[in-house]
Copies of this chain bind each other. A is one copy, B any other.
Amino acid sequence: MTKKSTNSKLFTPGPTKIPGGVLNAVGKQVLHHRTPQFSEKVRHVQDEIGRLLTTHNDVLLFTCSGTGMMEAAVANLMTRGGKAVCLMNGVFGTRWRDICQVYGVEAVEYEVEWGKSHDPAKLDEILAQHPDAKAVFAIHSETSTGALNDIQALARVTAKHETAIVVDATSSVGVHAIRMDEWGVDVLVAGTQKAMMTPPGIAFVAINGNGWSLVNQSDLPKFYFDFTTTWKRLQQKGQTPYTPAVSLVYGLEVALEMMETEGWDEVYARHARMGEATRAAVTALGFGVLPEHPANGVTVAVCPEHIDANQIVRTLDDDFGVRVAGGQLTLSGQVFRIGHMGGIRERDLPMVIGALERGMIKLGHKIEPGTGLAALQQVLLKTD
């Protein structure tokens, strides 16, 4: 552990670099959570999230990680012995299955190779075979592989079968446009520590009428994560039933304002440019790009056989002050992941690609210095 590495710049797929304005808000003296002043903040944040998701659905805030919110969705929507289809193509999709199993929910697994996305036609077949499935649990952007699912197309299929679709959007919200109402997404959960530029600890659920009717039928135990209790307290007083992470709500409010000021469409366009440029850079340096349909918040680079991805992660952190993420579970050693979302701007990308080139050279891999950076520039110049 060198002195340098404690100051590494984060290019991880969450938590991400937090803008100074958000940090200032997070570091403010706390407000009491049972005051009209704090209620106003909660309502403001919930309204802004509604605009971000282009939805009129209810939005509920919780103090937890994205995983807590995934569990909350299962516990609030399902019944003991009920059936759900889990779309698995990485760590987080697999987590839907694991949570269902913990709660005694029968999980029909629709698994595709890690890096691939789910096929709406195949989901159609599966739902035809399982007409009693109450919900389909999906991941919009699978952070472990960088694969993006076509939620709009998947939601058309679930609507046809009158099955609810429940989407984790932790690493897509604020990266890719989400049209919750137009697409017919019934329930959407996300943590706010990625493109929403807030230090980790706050997550939310947005839920429509179909979602609420599942809640009304659910018999699984929940207390802290109870959607109904939370909704009631919000309606009555604009409060959360239990003490929320007040400081993080402050931060989230500022982050949402920053996004709205930049303009939602520009936010998505910026992420599209950053995704394309980073993929071009790693490709030029001889890496593969894992996902077939890549999400724009994270680039998952596949190493050629002679390169150990974890060695790259370590040298970037220890020697070049840049923190990227390694692969998870079976992908460990094979891939590294560069996060470029939220507080990361185009101007930041030469930092991570520059460090990557130097790291590769330090590790003895033969590359022409500047190759990755030039490819990066080519993409960025297209829209300058």
Which residues of A approach B to under 8 Å, CB–CB? 1, 5-6, 8, 10, 12, 14-15, 17-18, 23-24, 26-37, 40, 63-68, 71, 75, 98-99, 102-104, 191, 193, 199-201, 220-224, 241-248, 317, 323, 325
Which residue in B6, B63, B220 is a CB contact (below 8 Å) of A64? B63
In angstroms, Cα B30 to Cα A71, docked, is: 25
Whether A200 lies near B33 (C-beta < 8 A) is yes
Distance (whole angstroms) from the CB of A186 to the closest CB of chain B: 21
23 sample A-B contacts, Cβ–Cβ < 8 Å, listed by A number: A5-B35, A6-B31, A6-B37, A10-B32, A15-B246, A24-B27, A27-B27, A30-B200, A33-B200, A34-B325, A35-B323, A63-B64, A65-B242, A66-B243, A67-B241, A67-B242, A75-B221, A102-B223, A191-B243, A199-B247, A200-B244, A201-B201, A220-B221
Q: How far is the CA of A75 from the CA of B225 in the complex (A)?
A: 13
A248 is contacted by which of B37, B102, B245 (Cβ under 8 Å)? B245
3 A-B pairs with least C-beta separation: A27-B27, A201-B245, A199-B247
Q: A29 is contacted by which of B12, B23, B64, B201 (Cβ under 8 Å)? A: B23
* Chain B: minimal CB distance from A308 (Å): 17
Tally of this chain's copies: 2
Most chain B CB within a 10 A radius of its CB, from A1, A103, A223: A223
Q: Hey, which chain B residues are within 8 Å of A220, CB to CB?
A: 221
Are B18 and A30 in contact, CB atoms less than 8 angstroms apart? yes
- The residue that A65 contacts in the complex, of B14, B37, B63, B99, with Cβ under 8 A, is B63
Residue numbers in B under 8 Å from A35 (CB-CB): 5, 8, 317, 323
CB closest chain-B residue, reference A11: B32
- Of chain B, the residue at the smallest CB distance from A27 is B27
Shortest distance between the CB of A252 and any CB in chain B (Å): 12
Given A30-B200, A35-B317, A36-B1, A247-B244 contact (CB < 8 Å): no
Known: A15-B243, A26-B27, A67-B223. 15 other contacts (CB 8 A): A1-B40, A27-B27, A30-B199, A30-B200, A35-B317, A65-B244, A66-B242, A67-B241, A68-B242, A99-B223, A102-B222, A199-B247, A201-B245, A201-B247, A221-B221
